[in-house]
Structures are given as C-alpha cells and as structure tokens.
C-alpha cells in the first residue's frame, strides 16, 4: 500500500509495528481485514504517521519490539504525540509467533502478530513515554554496554597474545604496545561516559524527595536512587522490580527433577550492575548489611549468591520505602 488514509486508521482496533534499521512495517487490524503499510524509519516519516493517528483520534494500543536503538525514533515521536506505544521484549512476541500455525516469517507477518497481541496479551508493560533526556540516557546506556563488551574482548585478546609472545621468547613490538595504549584510552573514555551518564541521570530525576528517601538506604548512591525512583510503582509487588533488574531466578523442573536456578539476567543490565555495587558497598559500611552478609556466608552461600540476596533486599527495601514515604530504618529492614 502506497498511502495510509485517515479513514483507514479510524477503522483500526489494534496496531503492530515491526522495526528494522531502515523501515517500519505497519499492520492495523480492522473488522474486515488487516491493513499493511511500510514506511521509512526516519523521524520525518514517523511524524507523518503520528499526525494521521492523532487526526483519526486513534486511542488503541500500538505495539513494537525493543530492537537495540532502532525503535527509539518511534518512541520519541509517539511520546510527543501522547500515543499509547507499548515496547515489548522480543521474547514475549516470540511465543505468539511460535503459536501461529502458519510458519511464515516476514516483517509484515511479524507486524500483524504484534497487532494481534494488542487484543490477546494480558501481560503488556505500561505504555512507553520518554522525554528526550530519558531517550538520551537509554542511548548512552546502550553505547556503554557495547563499549564494555569491546573492552572485555580486546583486553582478553591482548593478554592471550602477550602471553604467547612471552612464552615464545619474542619481545612485544611497537604495534603491540600501541594496542595496549589504545585499550587504556578506551577504558578512560568509558569512565568519562559513565560520569556523563551519572550526571545526566541525576539532572533528569524529577523527584528530589524520592531520591532523598532511597539514598538513605546504605550503599545506594544518588545516581542509583534516581534510577530506582523511575521504576513503575503500579506493580503488585516488589518482585516485579526484582525481575525488571534481572535478579529473579529462572526455574528448571521436570517431574521429580529440579535443576539449579540461575539469574534470569533479562532486566536492566546497567541498573543490575549498580545494585550489585551498592550491595557490596553496604556490606563494607553498614553493620546490619555486613552481619546479614556474614550470616549468609556462614550458611555456605557463595560470595556472588550472598551479594545477589543483598541486592534483592535493597530493591525490596526501596520499593517499600517509596510505597510508605518513609526513610530507611534498619530495625524495620532487619528486625530488632
């Protein structure tokens, strides 16, 4: 379809958008048929679509997948037009695709699957509405994750070849030394990016009161407090926060056999790392967290396992403090 009219959008009950680097595949469900349309993944094209949706007074759900940073243009424009865009994990849409009898895998089919989820999926996240500052934070977090992987891979490679050079009795030449220098420069840039990100997070935080409450928890910095204060408070329990950070445990069971649970690690990687650092800081500077950590270690828990339990506890404490509006009290957190 070359154009998308206002009248067609008025008949839509649900919309799915499959995102790729260059294009967006649109699927709108109506009573009679599915409307398929393709547009460029540019701010200009998305702006035109958003204007038509607003003009048609579309109030239904729109679903797209989280695809690296390619979906952020869609989020930016739709947020400004106050459209209900639900950004979901690709794993969530994958189960719907597998349930389809037709095993066709194309972008229009994927878009139609996403549109169908608007009507059938009960466990959708809240609509994604982000300001430009929040989008910049998301983009910087993604870039930092990519650089961390590059540093890890490059560092491992350099160490391996350095050991081989030395094992064979060869001296490290100028190129090898320059590579080590470049790695050091990359690490320095990574630290600068982290500082810039932390400053941006603190500046973007809209609730100084909430940050003040969360910063009263031992080990929680102002940056981590600002991140935690942005988590959805409409969830039923603190377990949803634990899952969002990726500290929930995957369950493996069949009959009488029970496998060893592992962290799902499907949540916010950056926040998970900060919470782990916060948990470790709490054991170093707070007697109650230190005593709890020592108790877990005495029970035979590993260092990582004990730290994970403390990190979960910090998240649960954060959830309850924001719910009650009170500051941290060690007696309530750990008992008398």
Q: How far apart are the first and last CA of the chain?
A: 68
Q: Is residue 158 in a domain?
A: yes
Structural domains in the chain (count)? 3
Question: Which region among 71-80, 108-117, 249-258 has the lowest average model confidence (pLDDT)?
Answer: 249-258
What pLDDT was estimated at residue 276?
92
Q: Is residue 215 part of a domain?
A: yes
Indicate if 199 and 214 belong to the same structural domain. Answer: no
End position of a domain, from candidates 155, 188, 204: 204
Percentage with pLDDT > 90 across the chain: 48
pLDDT at 45: 95
Tokens of 95: 């189960």
Let me know whether 220 and 194 are in one domain: no
Share of the chain above pLDDT 70, in %: 90
| Res. 62: pLDDT tops 90 | yes
pLDDT value of position 237: 83
- Assigned domain for 1 exists: no
Q: Which tops the pLDDT comparison, 178 or 202?
A: 178
How high is the mean pLDDT of the chain? 87
Q: What is the CATH number of the domain that holds 31?
A: 3.30.420.40
> Counting beta carbons within 10 angstroms of the beta carbon of residue 247, is it exposed (0 to 12), middle (13 to 18) or buried (19 or more)?
buried
pLDDT band at 1 (very low <50, low <70, confident <90, very high): low
pTM of the model: 0.75
**CB-CB neighbours of 233 under 10 Å:** 12
Regarding whether 330 and 212 lie in a shared domain, the answer is yes
Structure tokens at 191: 């630290």
DSSP H or E run through 276 = helix 269-285
**What is the domain range of residue 36?**
6-120
Separation between Cα atoms, residue 249 and residue 263, nearest integer Å: 5
Check: CB of residue 35 under 8 Å from CB of residue 1. Answer: yes
Looking at residue 182, what is its pLDDT? 95
User: 182-209 pLDDT, tens per residue?
Assistant: 999 999 999 999 889 888 888 877 677 8
297 is a domain residue: yes
Residue 102 pLDDT more than 70? no
- Give me the sign of the Cα torsion angle 272, 278, 280, 282: negative
Residues 10 and 42 in one domain: yes
- The answer to whether residues 89 and 189 belong to one domain is no
170 and 149, same structural domain?
Answer: yes
* CA 166 centroid distance within chain: 42
pLDDT at 126 over 70: yes
Q: Is residue 125 part of a domain?
A: no
Q: What pLDDT is stored for residue 261 in this prediction?
A: 56
87 and 75 Cβ atoms separated by less than 8 Å: yes
> What is the pLDDT at residue 257?
46
pLDDT tens by residue, 245-264: 888 765 455 555 454 556 66
99 and 31 in a single domain? The answer is: yes
Give yes or no: residues 109 and 73 share one domain: yes
Q: List pLDDT tens digits, range 128-166.
A: 888 888 889 888 888 988 999 999 999 999 999 989 988
Please give the pLDDT value at position 223.
85
Q: Are residues 222 and 289 in the same domain?
A: yes
Identify the band that residue 320 occupies on the pLDDT scale cut at 50, 70 and 90: very high
């Amino acid at each position: 379809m070359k154009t998308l009219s206002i009248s067609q959008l008025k008949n839509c009950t649900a919309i799915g958008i499959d995102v790729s680097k260059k294009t967006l595949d649109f699927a709108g469900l109506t009573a009679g048929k599915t409307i398929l349309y393709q547009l460029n993944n540019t701010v200009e094209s998305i702006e035109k679509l958003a204007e038509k949706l607003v003009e048609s007074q579309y109030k239904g759900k729109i679903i797209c997948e989280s695809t690296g940073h390619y979906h952020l243009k869609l989020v930016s424009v739709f947020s400004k037009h106050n459209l209900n865009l639900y950004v979901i994990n690709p794993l969530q849409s994958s189960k719907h695709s597998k349930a389809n009898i037709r095993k066709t895998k194309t972008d229009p089919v994927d878009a139609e699957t996403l549109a169908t989820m608007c009507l059938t999926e009960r466990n959708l996240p809240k609509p994604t509405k982000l300001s430009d500052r929040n989008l910049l934070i998301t983009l910087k977090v993604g870039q930092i994750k990519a650089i961390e992987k590059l540093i890890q891979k490059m560092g491992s490679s350099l160490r391996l070849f350095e050991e081989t050079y030395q094992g064979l009795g060869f001296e490290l030449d100028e190129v090898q030394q320059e590579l080590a220098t470049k790695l050091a420069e990359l690490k320095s840039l990574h630290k600068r990016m982290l500082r810039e990100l932390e400053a941006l997070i603190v500046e973007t935080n809209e609730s100084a009161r909430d940050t003040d409450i969360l910063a009263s928890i031992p080990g929680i910095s102002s940056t981590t407090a600002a991140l935690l204060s942005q988590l959805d408070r409409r969830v039923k329990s603190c377990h949803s926060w634990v899952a969002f950070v990726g500290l929930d445990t995957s369950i493996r069971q069949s009959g009488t056999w029970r496998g060893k649970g592992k962290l799902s690690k499907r949540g916010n990687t950056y926040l998970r790392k900060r919470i782990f650092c916060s948990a470790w800081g709490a054991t170093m500077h707070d007697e109650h967290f230190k005593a709890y950590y020592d108790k877990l270690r005495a029970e035979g828990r590993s260092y990582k396992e004990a730290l994970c339990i403390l990190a979960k506890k910090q998240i649960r404490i954060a959830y309850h403090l924001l719910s009650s509006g009170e500051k941290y009290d060690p007696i309530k957190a750990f008992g008398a």
